[in-house]
Amino acid sequence: MHCAVELWDLTSTGASVLNQCILLTNRDPNFLQSWIILRQESRAKLQLQIDASSLLVATHLPFSCTIVTILGFQITSQLHWESCTRSTIIWAPLPKKKTGAYFKNLIEPGFGKITLASDPVSSPDGKLVAFVGKTWRKLEGQPESRICLIEATAGAVLRIVGEDSQPAPYQNIQPQFSPDGTQISFLSNRGGKGGYRCYLLRGQNFGELAEVSDIETVSVEYARWHSDSAKLLLGIAGPRGSDEDIPSWTPEIQADSCDGTLRSLVVYDSVKEQNLHAIRFPQASVWEAGWCGPSHVVAVVSDGFSESAWYSCRVSVLDLFRGTERIIYIPPSPCQAGGVVSSKSGKYAAFTQALSNTRGKVVGIVMIVDVDSSEAWQLDVEGVDVTNISWLDESRLFYTGLKVVGEVDVVTKSTTELWTSESASYGAAPIASGSFAIITGSWMQYPQMSRENNRTETNEWPDIDISAFLTANGYALFRPNPRGSTGRGQDFVRQIYGNMGGVDCQDLLSGIEHLVGTGLAARSRIGVTGGSYGGFMTNWIVTQTDLFAAGVAVAPISDWVSLHGTLNIPRCDRILLDADPYCVGGEYQKRSPLMFAGRYRTPVLQIAGKDDPCAPPTQAMMYHRALVEKGVESACALYPTEGHRVRKFPAYVDYFARLGWFEQLMPVKMYPSGSCSDDQYFGNHPFPTVMSAVSSLVKTGRQSVE
């Protein structure tokens, strides 16, 4: 890394109120970045311009600022970034060179190769397995996903859909074999048409590609094969309008009657290559559905079109020819249903039920309903929080949990555990002769609960996580599974409803105290981070104790009242808090970190995406403003094209670099360079610890920074 470190006397620029400026300029053309750190007694703001020769010109403006970031020498336009913090040296993030090198080492060896896998499905005879494989070609955007086909016994790759054409940044997802094994359906956003379409693979080695026609103005969310291997049930979202024909001044209308997207069903005949039926409900949405006999489907349905409507869902049988609905089960409030499937004859319907806040990820108990009588009962799966289910035959149901794969007979109620592992994945697919296909994590990963969800629930691994990055930079990582998260049954989950930031916060603090007491963690160097609900917990927990040296809140929640009025799922916070958002002095205010911001002086960095509908960026901005006005060190980074988490490169590299907030405020090395080795140091001292506010298991480790 080529750096120039210079001291500037800014009096020549007219900025006499500033003492000095430390300029660190990275001149490496591969990782272009400059950091300006201002040491100031009073406040001022700099407006900086960088030219082609990498020279900085500073001029004084009468506003406040302590750090300015220039991302890339290729930038020639004038720009500035404001961070209203205390008059101290603000944080110096991890060098972009170092952060970029981390990702280069992690990802570049797999360029052009399948390096990530998910969604395994088996052919009916068990000889083939299709899955979604992801591949990187460059560190930009997100990885491409392709449908991969391998032999189950030999593991030989037969086909990677899309590799026989010019590589393009499109995604292929959700492969499904037809019951006769002659076709594979999948969804893809190829062609630049917007949204997902359904495609079919046929012929020898599934080399023929056909697009499902007549689906022009909608996006396909899922496809389910009929037992005749001809008909496909398509879950449709739309119709979508085009923004190209709308004048730029046109307002975005929000009204209860038109809030949300219409979701309906279409039956497609793959032999006749035409749509047969479409079923829509004027005032209801079909969130997910599957075949239930020859002419009916079992579905998760709710009144209204908004995402919030899903929280009041029901399970129904829909007649495709008459367009009628018969309700067979209503989950007890505040539970939701998901993953609905029926036996081949349509006699039984099965689904998972849980207290959930994430549509498509209902992790909990398994319910069975007799479709004719609507009699419902819970299956005994020995306390496992179930993530996926599928039918093996008319009476046997296959299920996977966090660490368990098993089957249960719905008639005899007997359960058989097929496999268990301490390092298991959450999704599996049954294969003939009692085997199953499963995606396992490499490097013996512990199960990680999704950082982008509002609670610690998931049925999939994240592709890249900050855990390895933090440990590679010398931090131990504490990943608790507090009350309110999945993995220990629904009673464990229920304990935070109406008690947000209560027992879960107590569990986190008791875990930290245990680590300090055993000498594993240094009390003076403990940080906390988390995303979404973990972002709420980060902002909340630093108001409950002075234990933490630093915090990083990602996609945070700071004020439940304003969140209710601005997020896209207002029903969710009502369920979580079990309260009225408009009650003055009620739970919405009592549980808001904003009301207690600055009680303790823990510096907190807020990170948010400007396009986040679940935790709008105003949540981060308000908490940042409150800390600044209370005189607590704070910073706020808003990513203009990101949503509920930072996903795309190069913004992802920048996000990781900003974790240098911990390095500045609770550094790994507290001894003079060269005085002793890392092994000697760590052997006699507790090491800095970062607590993930949303996780599943305790994981500690240490590595040197070098």
DSSP 636-671: EEEETT--SS--SBTHHHHHHHTTHHHHHHS-S--S
DSSP 331-361: PPTT-EEEEEEE-TTSSEEEEEEE--SSTT-
The CA-CA-CA angle for residues 288, 294, 295, to 5°, reads 65
DSSP 593-631: GGGGTTSS---EEEEEETT-SSS-THHHHHHHHHHHHTT
* C-alpha pair distances (Å), 306 with each of 254, 256, 258, 265: 11, 9, 8, 17
Element (H, E) at 562: helix 560-566
The CA-CA-CA angle for residues 600, 479, 136, to 5°, reads 115
Both tokens of 387, joined, read 């993530």
How far apart (Å, rounded) are the C-alpha atoms in residues 160 and 146? 6
Whether 650 contacts 67, CB under 8 Å: no
For the chain, 706 residues long, the average pLDDT of each consecutive 10-residue run is 32 31 32 31 33 29 28 26 30 61 86 87 92 89 89 80 64 94 93 81 88 76 94 84 69 68 88 80 87 94 90 94 92 94 95 90 94 94 89 93 88 87 53 50 30 42 70 85 86 89 94 88 90 94 96 96 94 94 96 97 97 96 98 96 90 89 83 41 58 45 25
Whether 531 contacts 552, CB under 8 Å: no
The CA-CA-CA angle for residues 579, 615, 450, to 5°, reads 95
Helices (H) and strands (E) in the chain, counts: 12, 38
ω into 143 cis (within 30 of 0)? no
Whether 353 contacts 377, CB under 8 Å: no
| Amino acid, single-letter form, for residue 391 | W
3-state secondary structure at position 81: coil
3-state secondary structure at position 30: coil
272: burial class by Cβ within 10 Å (0-12, 13-18, 19+)?
exposed
Element (H, E) at 157: strand 157-160
Both tokens of 630, joined, read 């209370």
Looking at residue 686, what is its pLDDT? 66
Residues β-bridged to residue 268: 232, 275
The CA-CA-CA angle for residues 64, 65, 70, to 5°, reads 145
Looking at residue 550, what is its pLDDT? 95
How far apart (Å, rounded) are the C-alpha atoms in residues 293 and 296? 6
Whether 521 contacts 497, CB under 8 Å: no
Looking at residue 165, what is its pLDDT? 54
- Chain centroid, CA 384 distance in Å: 23
Q: How far apart are the first and last CA of the chain?
A: 14
What are the helix (H) ranges across 445-556? Answer: 466-472, 490-494, 503-517, 533-541
3-state secondary structure at position 384: coil
* C-alpha pair distances (Å), 31 with each of 3, 96, 468: 12, 6, 21
| Amino acid, single-letter form, for residue 637 | A
367: burial class by Cβ within 10 Å (0-12, 13-18, 19+)?
buried
Whether 240 contacts 219, CB under 8 Å: yes
Both tokens of 284, joined, read 């209801």
Looking at residue 163, what is its pLDDT? 59
Domains of the chain: 3-90 (no CATH), 112-211 (2.120.10.30), 466-563+593-692 (3.40.50.1820)
For 163, residues 6+ apart whose C-beta sits below 8 A from its C-beta are 146
DSSP 439-455: ---STTPPP---TTSSS
